[in-house]
Amino acid sequence: MIYLTGDTHCGADMGKLDTARLTSDDKLIIAGDFGLPFLPSDITEYEASNGEDGEYSNWIKYLREKPYTVLFIDGNHDNHDWWSEQEVSEMFGGKVQVHPHATNVIHLMRGEVYTIEDRKILTFGGAASTDRGWRIEGVSWWSKEEASDDEIETALENLERHDNKVDLIVTHTLPKSIIAQIPMFSRKLSPCRTADFLDEVLRRVTYQKWYCGHFHTDMDIPEQRVKVLYNKVVGITD
């Protein structure tokens, strides 16, 4: 069975994974801001201790011990420079990156359409950080957080190959038009190329359900069949 939840933030919000009794037959999708690794020091500390010491090492061990497969899309608070250097392979009919420190943890990349348990799933991570003015580029903020031309082109080409029809869409942020309609979300309505592009996805793609993270709340938006996730872990049953 496929489950989804919201941001885990380098382990800070990882406890919710213990609320669901998932098995080896299950897959859990994290809707961005996975954050492992996050700081460059996470990697240097991990390598220096051979994966034995430090907070990052502890969270990697925690994930490795899970019986299920952890799938995630990137958010704005992910180390995009590090992930851009990791090997790309194929799984579920699309491009993925298997975490080199936990092989049951898999990055679902931007603009790919996967077939997972007979469901077609479009994934598109990333967003603009509203707090980047208080962060340091290359340390706690990365310019690759936003959608690139190549990623947008990849998404459009893959969607066209699937006749612009998928079962599920999983993104970190939401289309700009949806954010603008919800007062508690519109405070995050800073310039965001990713949210602008997702408006195009909203216009052209037929889908059953759209899931996202980013907004640090759990909410249903029935008009657009959107479920915003943060603390909940929800299963796909229909």
Task: Give me the domains of the chain, ranges plus CATH numbers.
Answer: 2-235 (3.60.21)
> Tokens 């919800």 — which residue?
182
| pLDDT given at position 188 | 64
pLDDT at 186: 78
Q: Are the beta carbons of 149 and 236 closer than 8 angstroms?
A: no
pTM over 0.85: yes
Give yes or no for a contact between 115 and 165, defined as CB atoms under 8 angstroms apart: no
Q: Write down the pLDDT at residue 130.
A: 87
Q: Is pLDDT of 133 > 90? A: no
pLDDT digits (tens, 9 = 90+) for 195-227: 999 999 999 999 999 999 999 999 999 999 999
What are the tens digits of pLDDT across the range 70-96? Answer: 999 999 999 999 999 999 999 999 999
SS3 at position 39: coil
- Rg of the chain on CA atoms, in Å: 17
Side-chain half-sphere CA neighbours of 213 within 13 A:
31
Kindly report, residue by residue over 121-130, the tens digit of the pLDDT: 999 999 999 8
What are the Cα distances from residue 146, in Å, to 158, 160, 214?
A: 19, 22, 14
pLDDT in tens, 153-208: 999 999 999 999 999 999 999 999 999 988 888 776 788 999 999 999 999 999 99
- pLDDT score recorded for residue 237: 77
What's residue 61's pLDDT? 96
Q: What pLDDT is attached to residue 190?
A: 81
- pLDDT, residue 84, reads 97
**Cα separations (Å) of 49 from 11, 36, 38, 60?**
19, 17, 17, 13
Is residue 108 predicted with pLDDT exceeding 90? yes
DSSP SS3 for 103: coil
Beta-sheet pairing, 69-73 with 119-124: unpaired
pLDDT digits (tens, 9 = 90+) for 29-73: 999 999 999 999 999 999 999 999 999 999 999 999 999 999 999
For the chain, counts of helices (H) and of strands (E): 7, 13
What is the pLDDT, as a whole number, of residue 187?
72
| Res 173: pLDDT | 96
pLDDT > 90 in the chain, percent: 91
